[in-house]
């Protein structure tokens, strides 16, 4: 993993995978991909009472910790996610950061909900660049 000290990191997160752009938002930059464990994507017809509907089923902490390990040292994190309400993995990830990694939760500068499934990586980077230009002090 490249050195990301004092850099803005862009993370897209879905229930299947997270993509981390730690080296920049320029055209053609490739993300590091982190895949969710297969058990995470299994559909259940009944909620497990141990999980109380929080979205923290088997494999979730391991998936989230892999993302956390990929962004250590960043100065700012821009999250881009898919889904709304209880279906939003991005929201669950933010809640996880607030509970387990408050230092990272504090550097999340924004969380953008969009239809990630319909977007290409260049479109995601363009969205991140637009956000950056709208929020930079330049």
Q: Report the pLDDT value the prediction gives residue 64, as an integer from 0 to 100.
A: 96
Q: Report the pLDDT value the prediction gives residue 6, as an integer from 0 to 100.
A: 61
* Whether the predicted pLDDT of 53 surpasses 80: no
* Whether the predicted pLDDT of 45 surpasses 50: no
The per-residue DSSP string of the chain comes to ----TT-EEEEEE-SSEEEEE-S--STTPPPEEEEPPGGGG---SS--TTTTTSS--TTHHHHHHHHHHHHTT-SEEEEEE---GGG-HHHHHHHHHHHH-HHHHTTEEEEEE--GGG--HHHHHHHHHHHHHHH---
Position 60 confidence tier, pLDDT thresholds 50, 70, 90: confident
Chain segment 61-120, per-residue pLDDT in tens: 999 999 999 998 889 999 999 877 778 899 999 999 999 999 999 999 999 999 999 999
* Whether the predicted pLDDT of 57 surpasses 70: no
Q: Report the pLDDT value the prediction gives residue 58, as an integer from 0 to 100.
A: 58
Average pLDDT, the chain: 83
Domains defined along the chain, listed by start: 8-43+50-135 (3.30.420.60)
Position 39 confidence tier, pLDDT thresholds 50, 70, 90: low
Q: Report the pLDDT value the prediction gives residue 119, as an integer from 0 to 100.
A: 95
pTM value is 0.81
Find the mean pLDDT for residues 21-44. 76
Cα–Cα distance for residue pair 27/30, rounded to 1 Å? 9
Position 52 confidence tier, pLDDT thresholds 50, 70, 90: very low
Residues 6+ apart with CB under 8 A from 59: 36, 37, 38, 39, 40
């Amino acid at each position: 993993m490249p050195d990301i000290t004092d850099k803005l990191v862009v993370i897209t997160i879905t229930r299947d995978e997270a993509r981390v752009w730690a080296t920049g938002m320029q055209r053609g930059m490739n993300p590091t991909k982190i895949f969710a464990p297969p058990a995470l994507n299994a559909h259940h017809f009944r909620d497990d009472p141990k999980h109380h509907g929080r979205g923290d089923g088997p494999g979730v902490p391991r998936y989230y910790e892999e993302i956390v390990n990929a962004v250590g040292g960043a100065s700012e994190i821009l999250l881009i996610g898919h889904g709304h309400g209880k279906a939003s993995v991005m929201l669950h990830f933010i809640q996880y950061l607030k509970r387990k990694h408050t230092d990272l939760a504090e550097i999340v500068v924004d969380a953008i909900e969009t239809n990630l499934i319909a977007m290409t990586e260049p479109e995601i980077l363009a969205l991140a660049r637009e956000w950056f230009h709208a929020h930079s002090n330049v």
